[in-house]
Amino acid sequence: MNNYSCMTCGASDRERLYAWWINAQIESGALKTGARVVHFAPEAALSKKIRKLDLFDYKTADFMMADVDFQIDLMNIPFEDEYCDFFICSHVLEHVSDDNLAVRELARITRGDGCGILMAPICVDIDDTLEDPSATSDGDRWRLFGQDDHVRLYSHRGYVNTLERNGFAVQQLDQKVIGANLINHLGLSPTSILYIVTRPEPQDGAPLNSSKTLS
């Protein structure tokens, strides 16, 4: 797509969308100076922008990348309960073997009044998320999931269900909410949806998952 990457900063279309939302939250006061922010699998242009803001206690994390603050497994995050005020985790869940566990971990480390940008590739042409544990070859994964390092292909309904059953409430910001003009300005597809997650209050005093601490 001609609009995918910015010729000036290299930001992808989805990075521009995230930056727009973050700016709006800063302007509204929802994201406050000093907030603890964790950026999983950090996109270079977006990470650079957030660091330049110099507003947050900002850390990066990834399983493979060497130049991050924490090298972690998303299915076993070594942070204490309610560790962060805000997180960004984009296009990671389609890579992990147990996405339910990964989402539960993200919910566990999010403060009760916090939130996150939690995104994955969505196929609008399927009704149910496609998974096949026997698809281990590059060819099979390309054929089924569209990339050789993906282990599932999310449907819209399947993705939202995964987030909701593992501890999050989901806000979906689509073209009707964002506006067609801004969608076009950011170079996004009209079907784009920004998924913002929050953690509802536990029911009947139910505890969070067991606490973990950084090593």
Look at residue 201 and tell me whether its pLDDT is greater than 90: no
Look at residue 123 and tell me whether its pLDDT is greater than 60: yes
Report residue 9 as tokens. Answer: 């900063």
Question: pLDDT at position 206, please?
Answer: 53
- Banded model confidence at residue 7, pLDDT cuts 50, 70, 90: very low
Taking residues 56-79, report their average pLDDT: 96
- Banded model confidence at residue 203, pLDDT cuts 50, 70, 90: low
Higher pLDDT, residue 191 or 159: 159
CA distance from start to end of the chain: 42
pLDDT digits (tens, 9 = 90+) for 134-184: 898 889 888 889 888 899 999 999 999 999 999 999 999 999 999 999 999
- Banded model confidence at residue 214, pLDDT cuts 50, 70, 90: very low
Question: pLDDT at position 12, please?
Answer: 75
Give one DSSP letter per residue of the chain, joined into a string: -TTSS-TTT---HHHHHHHHHHHHHHHHTSS-TT-EEEEES--HHHHHHHHHH--SEEEEEESS-SSSSEE-BTTB--S-TT-EEEEEEES-TTTSS-HHHHHHHHHHHEEEEEEEEEE--EETT-SS-EE-TT--SHHHHHHHHSSTT--EEEEHHHHHHHHHHTT-EEEEE-HHHH-HHHHHHTT--TT--EEEEE-PPPGGGPPPSPP----
Beta bridge partners of 38: 59, 87
Q: Which of 53, 28, 199, 27 is nearest to 39 (CA)?
A: 53
Mean pLDDT for the chain overall: 89
Look at residue 212 and tell me whether its pLDDT is greater than 80: no
Taking residues 184-189, report their average pLDDT: 89
Taking residues 186-195, report their average pLDDT: 92
Question: pLDDT at position 205, please?
Answer: 52
Question: pLDDT at position 154, please?
Answer: 97
Look at residue 108 and tell me whether its pLDDT is greater than 50: yes
